Amino acid sequence: MINILEIKPSPLNDGAEFSRGVFATIDIEKGQLIHVAPVIPYPNRDHVYIEKTIFADYVFEYGINHTALVLGYGSLFNHSYTPNANYIINFENHTFEFYAYTDIKAGEEVLINYNGDVDIDDPLWFDKDQVEND
């Protein structure tokens, strides 16, 4: 089985210590399933504990009452407002399924929109302080 994804340094994070991203190792066609990531969900009320850790930047909303740590490569995809991938949440299987939103070339970084849908351009949680101070 060929691994179609790999983790390597990302140019998007300005050389930060842990500036990793997910990259295609082969050409991926639009609509192709590229990764299925299992999740560890937890009640939103417990998020106050996660907010005190680095994991706060790596979790996803998981329905109305839960948040989830997405395993596999799931929490390592970087953000773009013009993503080449998207995801759906499969609550029945407790997974996030990542699909190519556009054709992705070998060597290209796979990017998702952290807002959930590919066309939402709301400021992200880590940019909101900057937007509010401008």
Q: Are 78 and 66 in contact (CB under 8 A)?
A: no
Task: Find tokens 């790999």 and name the residue.
Answer: 6
Q: How is the chain split into domains, by residue range? A: 5-39+70-119
pLDDT tens, position by position, 90-115? 999 999 999 999 999 999 999 999 87
Residue type, 42: Y
pLDDT digits (tens, 9 = 90+) for 47-88: 999 999 989 888 999 999 999 999 999 999 998 899 999 999
Q: Which fold has domain 5-39+70-119?
A: Beta-clip-like (2.170.270)
**0.75 cut: is pTM over it?**
yes
